[in-house]
Amino acid sequence: MLRRVNFYSICIAFGLSVLLILAGSRYTDNTYYRPSPESRRIIEINIPQQIPTNPYDGLPNIDNILEKTRLKIKLELQNYNFTGSGVEKLEDLIIESGGQPIRSIIISTWRSGTTFLGEVLNSVPGNYYHYEPLLNYEIIQIRGAPHADRALNMITKMLKCDYDGMEDYFEYGKGHLHQFSHNTRLWDHCKYKKELCFDADFTSKFCRLFPFQSMKVVRVRLRLMKQLLENKELNIKVVLLIRDPRGVMQSRQHRNFCQPSPDCWKPELLCADMISDYVAAGRLLQTYPDRLIVQRYEELALDPNNTTPRLLKFLGINPTTSVEEFLVSHTNVEVSGVSSTFRVSREVPFKWRNVLDYNYVEEIQMACKEALNLWGYKLVQNATHMTSKDFYPLDNYTLTQ
């Protein structure tokens, strides 16, 4: 039934646009519009024509993709309660219709659970996932000059769906398609025609259709988010995702992207950033208590069913069945021994205890004593203690404001 209604509305919309184009060309070609029998015949022929939907059919029809996406988003969110998002209706969240989307950004560092949380947010219908906008900076942390201004400018532009002048971003993406493929709703079209992903005009228009806009960034420290929070137009919410540095370092051990870059393999740099993030979180929470939330990865992984709805509520997103389904299929209580990149289980957060050499843990703890203390992670006393059942790494922590 719905399909038929949609089909007819597409036909009508298509017919109307043909009418408009014809009327428009009449007005420009001649000084006045004279309806003629021919034009009426053209219209009649055009209306019943099926719009090509096969993506392999020659050139992609941009207008057709945009219109199909509009209808899809509307359909997927027809039962969504917009009150929880602080608006009355879908159009209020769509840039194209003059609205402002619900924007969120996850700030973290490599191997801290951003992939999982990013996928959770992307399971919300109508979400446009900006993924990692700064991949082309390679493996560095941005803490200030010389990169901060350009990086923040780029993040801001993307969150506004303005891809103009982002040649570096597109150029890098041509050789690194994962920059786009995590944005599943965009990738649905690019996978057939890669050029669409490199097209600033198309991506800008496409992005402007989506009521939820999420992003994750592992290369910028929280301190710099002040600039984005100050931008009233963006109306952004920030999630700072923190993970035990012993777990982070264990997870980075087998990643060959890490080794050449001190920002990635030196625990003292990781932990200096964690201290900086702690200070920044305290300060920013004073000014923006309802725009910043801090989440420890361990608590997300141990209890995703309770943590996720709390995060979504903070962000102004009502939990949908698609999120529930995602959690069921990507979390497990039982020890299965298999875990993909974005599957979390109770085993993952504390795996370092059984995998890392005690001497290395001691080395990390020496470099990270303060960061561990601030973020509520308990120190291991000796090798037996590390693997003992009595040792539970999590403690409480408070953010001093």
Ligand X SMILES: *[C@@H]1O[C@H](CO)[C@@H](O)[C@H](O)[C@H]1NC(C)=O
List interacting residues with ligand X (CB under 6 A): 81, 83-84, 304-305, 327-328, 331, 333, 381-382, 384-385
Q: Tell me the two tokens of residue 59.
A: 């050139």
Nearer of residues 110 and 116 to ligand X, judged by Cβ: 116
Contacts of 343 (CB under 8 A, 6+ apart): 116, 330, 331, 332
Nearer of residues 33 and 391 to ligand X, judged by Cβ: 391
Smallest gap from Cβ 168 to ligand X, in A, equals 40
Nearer of residues 39 and 332 to ligand X, judged by Cβ: 332
Smallest gap from Cβ 236 to ligand X, in A, equals 21
- The answer to whether the CB of 120 falls within 8 A of the CB of 308 is yes
Smallest gap from Cβ 81 to ligand X, in A, equals 4
Q: How does strand 127-129 pair with strand 331-332?
A: unpaired
* Amino acid letter, 233: E
DSSP output for 220-289: B-GGGGHHHHH-TTT-EEEEEEE--HHHHHHHHTT-TTTTT-HHHH-HHHHHHHHHHHHHHHHHHHHH-T
Smallest gap from Cβ 80 to ligand X, in A, equals 9
Long-range contacts of 45-53 (CB under 8 A, 24+ apart): 46/14, 46/15, 46/18, 47/11, 47/14, 47/15, 47/18, 48/11, 49/14, 51/10, 51/14
Smallest gap from Cβ 305 to ligand X, in A, equals 4
Nearer of residues 325 and 370 to ligand X, judged by Cβ: 325
Smallest gap from Cβ 364 to ligand X, in A, equals 17
Nearer of residues 234 and 302 to ligand X, judged by Cβ: 302
CA trace torsion 302, 305, 308, 314 (10° rounding): -120
Smallest gap from Cβ 361 to ligand X, in A, equals 13
Nearer of residues 15 and 84 to ligand X, judged by Cβ: 84
Smallest gap from Cβ 329 to ligand X, in A, equals 9
Q: Tell me the two tokens of residue 281.
A: 């979180």
Determine which helix (DSSP H) or strand (DSSP E) holds 25, and give its type and residue range.
helix 2-29
Nearer of residues 381 and 401 to ligand X, judged by Cβ: 381
Nearest partner of 197 among 177, 217, 182, 213, judged by Cα = 177
Long-range contacts of 52-58 (CB under 8 A, 24+ apart): 55/189, 55/192, 55/193, 56/192
Nearer of residues 241 and 348 to ligand X, judged by Cβ: 348
